[in-house]
Amino acid sequence: MGVTQRRTRRMERAFDHIRQSANRPVVVSHGTAIRIGATVLLELPMTASRHSPSAMRRSNIFVASRERMILELWNDTSPHARSDEAEG
């Protein structure tokens, strides 16, 4: 098993743990972990992570629907980026 596969499985386990929580989670990450996390949440092939640019000091917001995760915001630079659904 390669490094990317190990990171993907570790991210999948972390998201499974978060999904089981009764609280609304906030996850902070960086670099490769953001790209791998987005790939896992969107259920994309791991090769998609190479095509997901992510810069420093950017906000990325995912919102859980009943069926899947929705990428609401990617690489946003506004100082107060947030989700209306996350506030409710």
What are the sequence ranges of the domains in the chain?
3-76
Q: What would the pLDDT profile of 55-79 be if each residue is shown by its tens digit?
A: 767 788 888 777 788 888 888 887 6
How much is the pLDDT for 88?
47
Alpha carbons 61 and 45: distance in angstroms, whole number: 20
How much is the pLDDT for 1?
63
Q: What would the pLDDT profile of 38-57 be if each residue is shown by its tens digit?
A: 888 888 888 887 777 777 67
Nearest in space to 49 (alpha carbons), one of 39, 62, 61: 39
- pTM for this prediction: 0.63
CB atoms within 10 A of CB 13: 10
Q: What would the pLDDT profile of 20-35 be if each residue is shown by its tens digit?
A: 877 777 777 777 888 8
